[in-house]
Chain A
Amino acid sequence: MSYLLRGALLSSAAFFLAYVFLSLGVAGAWPLLRKRAAAWSASLLYGLRALPPAGALLFVAGFVVPAFLCLEPQGTDERFGIPGIALASAGLLMVAWGTVSALLASWQTARFVASCPKTGLRRLEGSAGACAVEVVSAKPLFVVAGIHRPKLLISQQAVRLLDENEMRVAVRHELAHARFRDNLKKLALRAARFPFLSGLERSWMQAAELEADDAAAVDACGALDLASALLKIAGASSPAPLPHLAMSLVPGTQPALQARVQRLLAWQPRLPSPPRRGRALLFFFFAVLALTAGYAPLLRHVHELGELLVR
């Protein structure tokens, strides 16, 4: 077996093991964290959800590949055992499945946007490349869809329902989703699916809605306008089915809508939070220091583990 093929198979097997191990760890910890996580920001929740794939990638790129390149002699003719080949195949299958899922979600979203009959198009100022497209739809639609140059789709029914102020703040809400790249984050989650993490994903989605509400409601009147817009769209009729890579103004369940409206009713100006950059920099500095000091012995351990894995 060639040197490079052996390295690729080892990386794939290590990625699979690290990904499953981290995913199970996060899935196991989530029931314990769920109550406390109600106060967490969307970024923190997304970070927790993205930890398994990102951690597995970092482990492979930062440890497995360097350990293989530095410590594996090129001339040897080592063979991969059945467990190693099975793990490597599982890793490759997982990556392929994630890629296909992400591509399908992108294709489905692009098809959805293209199939909406457009009646008007206008560019919005400060909209991060998104443009408002008024569309004809039997059901109220207020959604930002797509990743590269996301489209803001607003049905004529929604235009009729909302007054000028409600429309302005609702558009700001959707543009906040575009600015926070929420659809891109959703695409990344489609590529890194794991069965027991849907509860964490739902919590992130709800937190992302709250974050977009905060970005849209700049004062108490804006908060009331947004609450009113949410209720009008929710009350008009049931929502149209949406593609995966889209963020709707009124997604989710009734309790989630109720919680959002009550939060907007209790709107208060946000106080600037004290900067925590110093503490984060200090932590980062010590982490880099510890890693640098222990990197060479760690690589040896990882290489030994890799040898065990492939035999």
Chain B
Amino acid sequence: MGWIRHSAGRHPQLGPLETRLLGMLSQRRDATVRELLSSAQVDAAYTTVMTTLDRLYKKGFLDRSLDAVSRAFRYRLKQGERHLYRAVLGNDLHHLLQTAADPSLPVSFLVDAVTEHDPALLEDLRRAVERKRQQLRRRKKP
């Protein structure tokens, strides 16, 4: 619970790369810097990823151990994904609700964001429906 206390107390600000790396580590049990880079999901230099992981470790989000084969640090989430979101989002949401004049406003925007559909996907599906409609029309014509 150390890092949860830490995050609740000091309200850690996570950058885009930090969030991305935490997300990648939540999808796998553990990983070294090289393994994260080889997955091609992150576009950054080796030293940048190494420094960022080290910072996350110092912030208390990650655990690390020395890999016997590669002699590099192997990082893993200190707590599960659920705890990670609770610590990061819970703190931010609490701050948001505390500072809002009308607390229902951020909540309604949150519901909108969660239930909104991806416009690009809807457009793809709409095109597929139109293609199918044209196929049907062609088939009906003698």
Interface residue tally on B, bucketed by range: 10 to 19
Closest B residue, CB atoms, query A139: B112
* Given the contacts A238-B112, A238-B115, A238-B116, A258 and B132 also touching, CB distance less than 8 Å: no
Q: Are B112 and A234 in contact (CB under 8 A)?
A: no
- Given the interface pairs A224-B136, A235-B117, A265-B132, the reply to whether A258 lies near B111 with Cβ below 8 Å is no
26 contacts across the A-B interface (CB closer than 8 A): A220-B136, A221-B136, A224-B129, A224-B133, A224-B136, A227-B125, A227-B129, A228-B126, A231-B125, A231-B129, A234-B117, A234-B122, A235-B117, A235-B119, A235-B126, A238-B115, A254-B117, A254-B118, A254-B121, A257-B117, A258-B121, A261-B125, A261-B128, A261-B129, A265-B128, A265-B129
Specify which chain B residues have a CB less than 8 angstroms from the CB of A265 in the assembled complex. Answer: 128-129, 132
A241 at the interface (CB under 8 A from B): yes
Interface string of B24-43 (1 = CB under 8 A from A): 00000000000000000000
Neighbouring A residues of B117 by C-beta, 8 Å: 234-235, 254, 257
Report yes or no: B122 in contact with A231, Cβ–Cβ below 8 A: yes
A243 contacts chain B at the CB level, 8 A cutoff: no
Q: Known: A220-B136, A235-B117, A254-B121. Is A228-B129 also a contact (CB below 8 A)?
A: yes
**Of residues 92 to 126 in B, which have CB atoms within 8 Å of A's CB atoms?**
111-112, 115-119, 121-122, 125-126
CB distance from A213 to the nearest CB of B (A): 14
Q: Which residues of A contact B (CB under 8 A)?
A: 220-221, 224, 227-228, 231, 234-235, 238-239, 241, 254, 257-258, 261-262, 265
Interface of chain A: mostly helix, strand, loop or mixed: helix
- Chain A residues with Cβ under 8 A from B116's Cβ? 238
A238 touches B126 (CB 8 A): no
Q: Are B129 and A235 in contact, CB atoms less than 8 angstroms apart? A: no
B128: chain A residues at CB < 8 Å are 261, 265
Q: Find chain B residues with CB under 8 A from A254 CB.
A: 117-118, 121
Q: In whole angstroms, how far apart are the Cα atoms of A77 and B76 in the complex?
A: 64
Residues of A within 8 A of B122 (CB): 231, 234-235
Instruction: Give the complex CA separation of A235 and B126 in angstroms.
Output: 10
In Å, the complex CA distance between A59 and B48 comes to: 64
- Give the docked Cα–Cα distance between A257 and B124 (Å): 13
| Beta-carbon contact of B125 and A258 below 8 Å | yes
Q: Determine the residue in chain A with the shortest Cβ distance to B133.
A: A224
The 5 closest A-B pairs by CB, nearest first: A238-B112, A235-B122, A234-B117, A238-B115, A261-B125
* Bound: A261/B128 CA distance, A: 9
Return the chain B residue nearest A252 by Cβ: B115
Given contact pairs A234-B117, A258-B121, A261-B129, a sample of 4 additional A-B residue pairs in the complex whose CB atoms are under 8 Å apart:
A224-B132, A228-B126, A231-B122, A234-B122
Bound complex: CA A254 to CA B120 (Å): 12
Complex: A286 Cα to B75 Cα, angstroms: 60
Which residue of B is nearest A223, CB measured?
B132
